Amino acid sequence: MVELDHLLGVRGSAATVVGSDNTAVTVGSGTLPIFATPSMAALAEQAACAAVQAYMPLGRTTVGMGMHIRHLAASPIGHNVSAEAVVVAVEGRRIEFKITVHDEREKIGDGTHERFAIDAEGFMNKLLLKKPKGAH
């Protein structure tokens, strides 16, 4: 088992520009052309991945296990949005992050995110056994 306690305090970030591809109306989470909550969640996951991937031993990665986010303010098309993830807890292979998201003017979101450290090859091999219903 890989020890991950050294990850406490590690930070990662990710950024995007609000465009037609990541608005609520486009992703189906609302009817307005504003930064979508699912897009904010994806940006938060990108920040968390950026925080820890360089620390993963060869052949290991992390997968998302859960997220609790609050979308506090709307961001219009054209605004720059950035997310920061900080490792706040490690329990075995479970890594917990504190998430904050800002646009050019203000904090637009916050929350927590959990990831689980895995062996990538073993994970994908198990997935190959998970065949769609009706497949032979």
Among candidate residues 62, 71, 84, 113, the one labeled active-site is 71
Residue 65 and residue 104 in contact, taking contact as beta carbons nearer than 8 Å: no
Tokens coding 67: 């997220």
- The span from the CA of 49 to the CA of 76, in Å, is 26
Task: Establish whether 112 is a catalytic residue.
Answer: no
Task: Establish whether 45 is a catalytic residue.
Answer: yes
Among candidate residues 16, 23, 45, 84, the one labeled active-site is 45
- The span from the CA of 132 to the CA of 36, in Å, is 30
Extract long-range pairs of 63-67: CB within 8 Å, 24+ residues apart: 63/115, 63/116, 63/118, 63/123, 64/113, 64/114, 64/115, 65/94, 65/114, 65/115, 65/116, 66/113, 66/114, 67/41, 67/99, 67/111, 67/112, 67/113, 67/114
Among candidate residues 26, 37, 61, 100, the one labeled active-site is 37
Task: Establish whether 16 is a catalytic residue.
Answer: no
Catalytic machinery residues: 37, 45, 71
